[in-house]
């Protein structure tokens, strides 16, 4: 009986599902279900029964010194979002006098981030129209700390002597009585949006300029009406240059 019991313990310590030596017959008995009616007939403890010793499923492997089986890594969805670039709507020529609005409106952007941003594929919107930026060249890069002018007219001879980096579609019009100007990146993520009304510093012949790119440009008090003309124009503003709010 002692030999039989020891044989069973060794089998358990070796993590063998079931294998012990019969003291009567001296042969190995195999029982995948931890079950042997003969052991019960001999009056030994029923250590082989499924009730007393469950099979491997549910065993505490860590307690037995074996590393637990790690579950397979779940299939994570790909990250389709990208950080939104730090591009700011920084100045707008809404109501020109030197040339008509249809020839002279422009929007200045500022890159307040730390890396160059390519505006190719971005969208500029007003309240009822949108335009996808599709530059003729490889891209439309805006370096960190840089200014870039989008305009309704890229011809400097007819737009009031403004260096326009990109001419958008003429369906984009900056209403003189209030509008919504929105910038989306090439993944249609909102980058910036400014909703202005006649309560904002809208003065004919003067661009509306953000006092600082760090300010909240959704607030009218963050803006001023430019007071200095740019070269070759009598209209006031600073296209492509830092703003000069008094």
Which residues lie near Ca ion (CB under 5 A)?
91, 94, 101, 108, 174, 176, 238, 243
65-71 long-range contacts, CB within 8 A, separation 24+: 66/15
Q: With beta carbons less than 8 A apart as the criterion, state whether 168 and 61 touch.
A: no
Neighbours of 206 (CB within 10 A): 22
Q: Which of 10, 29, 56 is nearest to 39 (CA)?
A: 29
Q: With beta carbons less than 8 A apart as the criterion, state whether 25 and 64 touch.
A: no
Minimum distance of Ca ion from residue 137's CB (angstroms): 23
> How many angstroms from the chain centroid is the CA of residue 152?
31
Token digits for 95?
């109501």
Minimum distance of Ca ion from residue 134's CB (angstroms): 23
Nearest to Ca ion of 18, 88 (CB atom)? 88
Nearest to Ca ion of 8, 224 (CB atom)? 224
Minimum distance of Ca ion from residue 154's CB (angstroms): 17
Nearest to Ca ion of 88, 184 (CB atom)? 88
Nearest to Ca ion of 48, 131 (CB atom)? 131
CB-based closest residue to Ca ion: 238
Minimum distance of Ca ion from residue 209's CB (angstroms): 6
> How many angstroms from the chain centroid is the CA of residue 163?
33
Minimum distance of Ca ion from residue 241's CB (angstroms): 5
Nearest to Ca ion of 93, 184 (CB atom)? 93
* Helix (H) or strand (E) segment spanning residue 36: none
Beta pairing class for 106-111 and 147-151: antiparallel
């Amino acid at each position: 009986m002692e030999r039989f019991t020891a044989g069973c313990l060794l089998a358990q310590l070796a993590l063998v599902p079931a294998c012990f030596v019969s003291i009567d017959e001296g042969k190995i008995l195999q029982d995948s279900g931890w079950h042997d009616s003969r052991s019960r007939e001999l009056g030994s403890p029923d250590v082989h029964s499924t009730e007393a010793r469950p099979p491997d499923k549910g065993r505490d492997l860590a307690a037995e010194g074996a590393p637990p089986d790690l579950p397979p890594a779940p299939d994570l969805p790909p990250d389709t979002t990208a950080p939104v670039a730090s591009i700011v709507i920084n100045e707008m020529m809404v109501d020109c006098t030197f040339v008509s609005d249809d020839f002279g409106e422009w929007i200045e952007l500022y890159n307040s981030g730390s890396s160059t941003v390519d505006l190719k594929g971005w969208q500029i919107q007003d309240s009822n129209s949108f335009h996808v930026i599709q530059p003729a060249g490889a891209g439309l890069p805006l370096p960190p700390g840089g200014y870039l002018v989008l305009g309704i007219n890229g011809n400097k001879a007819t737009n009031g002597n403004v260096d326009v980096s990109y001419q958008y579609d003429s369906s984009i019009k900056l209403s003189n009585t209030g509008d919504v100007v929105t910038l989306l990146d090439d993944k249609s993520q909102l980058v910036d949006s400014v909703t202005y009304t006649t309560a904002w510093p809208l003065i004919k012949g003067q661009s509306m300029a953000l006092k600082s790119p760090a300010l909240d440009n959704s607030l009218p008090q963050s803006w001023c009406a430019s007071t200095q003309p740019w070269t070759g124009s009598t209209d006031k503003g600073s296209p492509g240059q830092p703003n000069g709010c008094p």
